[in-house]
Structure 1
């Protein structure tokens, strides 16, 4: 790999790590934000919701936009947006403004994730597989160490530090990207510039994006307001109905659209891919429920400092990072099904173990639950991707990957919703136990799904010789 290619790799990696890093750092800052802005646990959960909803929408949209306006231009613009949001967020006088800037930050960082892999694939032609694996390590590694980094920053400098820490990464990435990412031909940009505004909206499916965002936010707001208020009011019912109706309109629109934001018809045509995406939603629901719930348990119930919470949460990230390369070798030999079954068993064990914890449980017990989820996450990082490739036809692998990322964000959003519903207005030990029991049920359903898939796979393999005869 040439020196220029190495610097290109560094510039892209410094940019793309900002999205997973910022998505995970905030988990340790939730109690601090709750105290500073005088919020209940449901209210402060919107700092998580807003980021993931915006990421779920922005990444596929920016992928389409990069085809029209150029990947270099989108990447650099994302860095500028991230810089502005990270600089202004600590100055937020009220929580609503912080949420708006959090959404802006999510859009900016999503612009880099959406085009980073494409830039590497196009401009690095030697040792491309190695380059892409490095990119994946930065994405998963940043998410894994986020709670530790967030814990240290909040302990030393309070919550604004989790935004300000982005600035040196953004500046370094921008300077390197400006020099190393080659300029693209102007033909695609000129074509996009000459395109009418109505045509451009149709290409990115602006109507579908708007319906998805409004419906999802209304549904989440209605569910959380019912739980936080403890009663069903007329306003709550109207909000819930608006969410359901708008999401129904979204499904109808996507089925008719020529360029859908989420191609729902693809699910119907490929049931194996549908099963993988459903399982991926549940996997992320489990993992991120623990990811966001455990720091609050440690700080609120166990009264552990932000710094030591970050160190304990590092168990989750390190186990995930160590398990990922080992999972790759195992899956190369045995396929994804055994690894995914073991992952589901580990998540079931971890969820049941959470229920056994109390206010005085030794920290080794806490680390045991974190290790179980960390190892399972490492297995899932590789196993789910391999299962997707097995179940998706080659001609639609690009669409399949986009849907796969959307499933990850939906699982993450649902995890925040689950925590908000179980905990209500205040994080409590009894609520944490209920969370563990809920996660155990979900994990056991994953075991059942994997056993069914293993049986169907064995049946298909046994049918091959007989049909060939």
Structure 2
């Protein structure tokens, strides 16, 4: 598809802003939870649904929305997603508590369309030789949104109260909508929307919601409620696979998931997200309890990771364009493995520098992997499947984040031998090393999955 240089820049700016808004939707709300609990007079268990409603909607709907974009047109559905996100943001700032939860779920649906279709659009608006840097730029904007959310949210709440964190998105979303209408290329003729697998999409959404609830409810304690949701998710997986195997036009063809060329990068993406969430879970406790930093010092140290991700995204994409996405993906995983292994081995006596230096290597590896792996997966996809595959990539990342918070958080608590708030510094340091030892094993598994996919890709190329 031929587009002018100015249109190309406008389209990439639009896609970047879509990713930024989606990331802000999560991170900006976390800082408002105490204020929302006071304003509405609700408990922590109730107010956490302000975040969970958004995350559940994004996680459970991103694959279905991506596939629907393939069928009815990516541009059309992306515009609808931006508009829905903007209107839901406006409603969230004016609603009662129950209305706020409903608006956050609608915001999540809009964000799911923005995330899945922004990545799917890259091949339509960026030259093939620059796909890596475009993917890297999207990764940088995601990091900007994650890092900017808490500080921006705090400033907005201090100036105008909690409604401002939601109302802020409405005019910004309207501007992105207008930019998208002007800059995104028109949709090509697509298959009829009646072929969309509604039964499969519903089953997948319910299954993913059950899994996310199993991993997030209970405030870190895995009890009967979590087990019930996990059992429901397992039943949902079995039902989904059965429906997809028998469907004439399935949402996700089962052979796609069995194919190591696609399955390997998806598994690696989930494992990488699991490890990165582990760093966010462990970091504040290690810095404050084991290394003795105050809240400001710990916050500054924790900001290093998002800062590196912001700065390294585009250079990582350039490396993927120059040296090949396969090599750069593996190099990123190797750097993450080295960083995790050092964090597992180095003693706390080395101080803050002994923690941040390996963490920097791990974060640079993450930036390399993210840009290159997204390029590797999306570059070879036909136009009528990019939305679906982009949705699967985003799903793998979200599932990794949810699993990392629960599983690595459980490893941390078990290794500390008791409540973290009462644990001795030595126990916290030991628990941190245990988490990163598990993280190193996960990175080794990610390398194996990606190399297996690479061997399958080379065998397929030789056969062709």
TM-score by length of 1: 0.73
Compared with structure 1, are the counterparts of its residues 271 and 157 closer, same or farther at alpha carbon in structure 2 (3 Å cutoff)? closer
Q: Give the secondary structure class of the aligned counterpart of 2:249.
A: coil
Q: Is the 8 A contact 1:23 1:143 kept in 2?
A: no
| CA displacement at 1:104 relative to structure 2 | 1.4
Q: Give the secondary structure class of the aligned counterpart of 2:178.
A: helix
Q: How does 1:74-113 map to 2 (within 5 A)?
A: 74-91=77-94, 93-94=96-97, 97-113=99-115
The CA deviation string for residues 314-340 of structure 1, in whole angstroms up to 9 with x for no partner, is: 311232244445545666548243442
The CA deviation string for residues 386-436 of structure 1, in whole angstroms up to 9 with x for no partner, is: 66579x898998465553333222212212333675689x97475976466
The CA deviation string for residues 102-145 of structure 1, in whole angstroms up to 9 with x for no partner, is: 221121122233333555644x4xx6247755643442122212
CA distance in 2, matches of 1:137, 1:260: 31
Q: Give the secondary structure class of the aligned counterpart of 1:17.
A: helix
Out of 379-388 and 404-413, give the one that drifted further: 379-388
Q: How does 1:297-446 map to 2 (within 5 A)?
A: 304=295, 311-328=300-317, 332-333=322-323, 335-336=327-328, 337-350=330-343, 356=348, 364=353, 367-368=356-357, 370-385=359-374, 388=377, 398=386, 401-418=390-407, 428=421, 430=423, 434=431, 437-446=434-443
CA distance in 1, matches of 2:451, 2:436: 23
| CA displacement at 1:84 relative to structure 2 | 1.9
Two-structure CA RMSD over aligned residues (Å): 4.6
Q: Which structure 1 segments of 5+ residues have no match?
A: 193-199
Partner of 2:207: 215
CA distance in 2, matches of 1:179, 1:225: 43
| CA displacement at 1:23 relative to structure 2 | 3.5
How many residue pairs were aligned?
439
Q: How does 1:247-286 map to 2 (within 5 A)?
A: 247-268=237-258, 270-286=259-275
Partner of 1:172: 175
| CA displacement at 1:304 relative to structure 2 | 2.2
Compared with structure 1, are the counterparts of its residues 23 and 57 closer, same or farther at alpha carbon in structure 2 (3 Å cutoff)? same
Q: Is the 8 A contact 1:7 1:176 kept in 2?
A: yes
Compared with structure 1, are the counterparts of its residues 413 and 319 closer, same or farther at alpha carbon in structure 2 (3 Å cutoff)? same
| CA displacement at 1:282 relative to structure 2 | 1.0
| CA displacement at 1:260 relative to structure 2 | 2.7
TM-score by length of 2: 0.74
CA distance in 2, matches of 1:416, 1:48: 14
